[in-house]
Structure 1
Amino acid sequence: MVDVARISAMDAREAARLLKGVRAAALAGDRPPAAPRPEIAASWRRMMAQGVHPDRDARSRMLSAAETEERRQVSALREVLPVLREGLLPALDEALHIMVVADAEGRLLWREGHRSILRKADRLGFSVGADWGERVVGTNGVGTALVARRPVQVFSAEHFVSSHHEWTCAGAPVRDPRDGRLLGVIDVSGPLATMHPATLAWVTSVARLAERELRIRHLESLERLRTVASPLLARLPGRALAVDPHGWTAAVAGVAPAERIPLPRGFGPGRTWVPPLGDCTVEPLPGGWLLRIAEDRADAPATRLVLDLSRNGSWSATVYGAAGSWSHELSPRHAELLFLLVESPRGRSAAELSAELFGDPTRTVTVRAEMSRVRRHLAGVLTHRPYRFAQDVEVELIRPQDAGALLPHSTAPAVLRARLGRPGPGMVP
């Protein structure tokens, strides 16, 4: 079998000849001079089964700058970029390597490192917005690590597609510690002459540091939820608990504490059956949910949201439930968005909100990014696809007494019409 330490000790050209011989024999069905490593052999079998051409460099459609930015905004890997940069960048220039961060679909979202290597990567199509899934470019440190779900190093002709044989790469997946979901891959790549067997261990260690940072952030968010929920639970009769959006428990009252509650699909405010707990009434909290375990079948008071736009420059959303209330101060943009959703009870797509905010339906990246931010505070109240208030939430809008004083900063076409008493399509008159 191909030995990593052995080929790393070879001259780059000698190592490339050996690996090309192994690949050629595998493609021809002959006995190779050395067996490919198991993870490489498994990837080659997938490539042949999927019809990837071994000598033709395929390219998929590049993401536009707007599409790339949209993916960056919603990627949890964005939160750990400082950890990745600190762990990898200082050594990349000397090692003639680059760092690449890809999402769970293999799309490259960030890329940094040695300038000359970045230019070489451009010629290979290894650039931001590109798709480096196995099904497109064959065996590689990004796509193969995504399929294998573990760290992978690929040397020279271990790449299935021959145009990549001048490269070596090492990729390690990063998982969300909250639910185990695969977030993407951290990859370090460079010319074949710079290969080193320790690179994979280095990249894997930095990926684990990134996961540790995500775990710390999660614990901090649970502590914030606990700070909000504990006073509510202390005043609430009966059994209840507060959980984050992934079901991790922040505080309990009258029940045995469990580390995590598996939340059912479509979980949201209202009456819901939660398998470990039974019938529960669910209310939104900042950063999570309040679950009140039903003691009888009587209907609980509905969740109510009051959007107060009556005071210029001091707009707020206040959520009322059986356990109490909490408020969130709104930025000018978030006040506009929530106003549009109140006026459109059936909901709005990103393109429709973009047209109503900017008069331009193409500015969906900005809308999605802003909606992502406001939903961090109102996750239990707002839903998406389309964006709207949750079905079981009663919404009240408090307007200024003077209609012309409605969101005076706003130039949004929909707000301008509302000041004149002219609702737009799908708006409440």
Structure 2
Amino acid sequence: MDVREATRLLKGMRAAALAGLPSKVAPRAEIDASWRRVLGHGVDPDGARQAGLLPLAEVERRRQASPLREVLPVLREALVSVADAAQHIMVVSDADGKLLWREGHASVLRSADALGFEVGADWSEGVVGTNGVGTPLITGRPMQVYSAEHFVSTHHTWTCAGAPIVDPRDGRLLGVVDVSGPLSTMHPATLAFVTSVSRLAEAELRTRHLAAVERLRTVAAPVLCRVGGRALAVDTNGWTAAVTGMPPVDRLPLPKSFRAGRVWLPSLGMCAVEPLPGGWLVQAVGDDVRPADAIPRRVVLDLSRPRRSSVTVSGEAGSWTQELSPRHAELLYVLAVHRSGRTAAQLAHDIFEDPTRTVTVRAEMSRLRRHLAEVLAHRPYRFAEDVEVEVVQPPHPADLLPHSTAPAVRGARHHPY
């Protein structure tokens, strides 16, 4: 099938979908799901509502704050020359869909300007519809959007391939690298190439992280030699560089507002914390009795941001916030809905539609309870009765954990609790 015929079929498919009519050709599942989300946001299919460009000062602030700045040379070396030769452009966005960097073929850059595809623009899915930047930010997966698979008709002469980049230190979604260009210059291998480069960028971030931990280990080793009892050196994300007097752990969960002084940590009890270059020295001081004001009273499960779910546990002494993996976000959502609790078999059905997958559920719940034992009970799995639980949902039900295929989540998108 040639480009013209494929484009004609896609436009007919899109027109049928917008009219609520059956089509000879069904959209891909991820495109269909994106269109449904976009319709819920009220995006105009014949002209996206463009938000104003970020001021240059704000673009520069975001650039400086983004870890993607560290891997920009990797992205440029791998993609820009290829994109330029193929009459494409490379675009890098942050996790909010704001375009921070853009390079490539001069004529294509001018065409992109006409679409508002420029530095400082907001290309999140809820603003400009299905596209190679905003949609991978929602799904967390690489994706190519071809011609009329774009929700907005003015984008139909373009094709784009975008892949998310995740911070290996904490699993946080950092943004998307995208290669876009005129439909006539599309190549089937573009998506695979962009995906490979995004993985290369993640590998570079991982290498830099390991080097930073090694530097911290060098600084911490002589300090730990002089420390008695249980102590460890961790970086600012809690990754362990060195340990003494206790079994090693990969990572120590840290409160949101971690600082020097005396801090009560669930896994160690009362600790003395001192700053180190690139991290912290954490010493257990032998008092495992939880202070009364450290008892958790409230849990906020924030699912309002696609692919950036978090849980905050708070008490009189302050709060802890932890980013959640997609699977842990699903499990905590189900437990928040079913406050009386769920057995492993019930959770397996809720998440996998297969009640026999209890081993997987128990393993995931064990990981969750390692950090949230104060608020999660078991037999059955549930939130503790004396803890207040709040779920912060996205404005549009269709955006609830959009990556999830769990039956409990799919049902909640149509019948929010």
Q: TM-score range by the shorter chain?
A: 0.5 to 0.7
Q: Does structure 1 residue 189 correspond to structure 2 residue 180? A: yes
Matched with 2:99 is 108
1:215 maps to a residue whose letter is R
Matched with 1:139 is 130
Conserved 8 A contact 2:123-2:133: yes
Q: Deviations over 1:361-398 (max 9, x none)?
A: xxxxxxxxxxxxxxxxxxxxxxxxxxxxxxxxxxxxxx
Conserved 8 A contact 2:269-2:286: no
Q: Deviations over 1:19-43 (max 9, x none)?
A: 1001001111111121100110000
Distance in 2 separating the partners of 1:131 and 1:35: 29
Q: Does structure 1 residue 124 correspond to structure 2 residue 115? A: yes
Question: Which range moves more in the overlay, 219-228 or 287-296?
Answer: 287-296
Question: SS in structure 2 opposite 1:90?
Answer: helix
2:18 maps to a residue whose letter is L
Distance in 2 separating the partners of 1:47 and 1:240: 50
Q: Does structure 1 residue 225 correspond to structure 2 residue 216? A: yes
Distance in 2 separating the partners of 1:228 and 1:119: 50
Distance in 2 separating the partners of 1:177 and 1:64: 30
Q: Does structure 1 residue 74 correspond to structure 2 residue 70? A: no
- Taking structure 2 as the reference length, the TM-score comes to 0.68
Q: Deviations over 1:73-102 (max 9, x none)?
A: 010000001110111122112211100000
Distance in 2 separating the partners of 1:185 and 1:57: 20
- Displacement of 1:168 in angstroms is 0.2
1:115 maps to a residue whose letter is A
2:136 maps to a residue whose letter is A
Q: Does structure 1 residue 204 correspond to structure 2 residue 204? A: no
Question: Which range moves more in the overlay, 123-132 or 196-205?
Answer: 196-205
Q: Does structure 1 residue 153 correspond to structure 2 residue 139? A: no
Q: Does structure 1 residue 13 correspond to structure 2 residue 4? A: yes
Q: Does structure 1 residue 47 correspond to structure 2 residue 38? A: yes
Unpaired segments ≥5 residues, structure 2: 289-417
Question: SS in structure 2 opposite 1:96?
Answer: coil
Alignment of 1:351-366 (within 5 A): none
Q: Deviations over 1:4-33 (max 9, x none)?
A: xxxxxx332222111100100111111112
Seq. identity, %: 68
1:42 maps to a residue whose letter is A
Distance in 2 separating the partners of 1:214 and 1:203: 17
Q: Does structure 1 residue 254 correspond to structure 2 residue 239? A: no
Distance in 2 separating the partners of 1:33 and 1:21: 9
Question: SS in structure 1 opposite 2:48?
Answer: coil
Distance in 2 separating the partners of 1:229 and 1:20: 61
- Displacement of 1:296 in angstroms is 4.8
- Taking structure 1 as the reference length, the TM-score comes to 0.66
Alignment of 1:301-380 (within 5 A): none
Radius of gyration: which is bigger? 1
Matched with 2:29 is 38
Question: SS in structure 2 opposite 1:205?
Answer: helix
Distance in 1 separating the partners of 2:285 and 2:227: 13
- Displacement of 1:146 in angstroms is 0.3
Question: SS in structure 1 opposite 2:97?
Answer: coil
Matched with 1:269 is 260
Q: Deviations over 1:197-256 (max 9, x none)?
A: 211111000000000000000000001101110000001122210000111000011111
Q: Residues 296 and 28 (structure 1 numbering): CA distance in 2 closer, same or farther, change over 3 Å?
A: closer
Question: SS in structure 2 opposite 1:211?
Answer: helix
Matched with 2:232 is 241
Question: SS in structure 2 opposite 1:169?
Answer: strand
1:45 maps to a residue whose letter is R
Distance in 2 separating the partners of 1:241 and 1:79: 28
Over 4 Å off, 4+ runs: none
Matched residues, number: 289
Matched with 1:283 is 274
Conserved 8 A contact 2:165-2:173: yes
Conserved 8 A contact 2:137-2:175: yes
Question: SS in structure 2 opposite 1:186?
Answer: strand
Question: Which range moves more in the overlay, 287-296 or 182-191?
Answer: 287-296
Q: Does structure 1 residue 22 correspond to structure 2 residue 13? A: yes
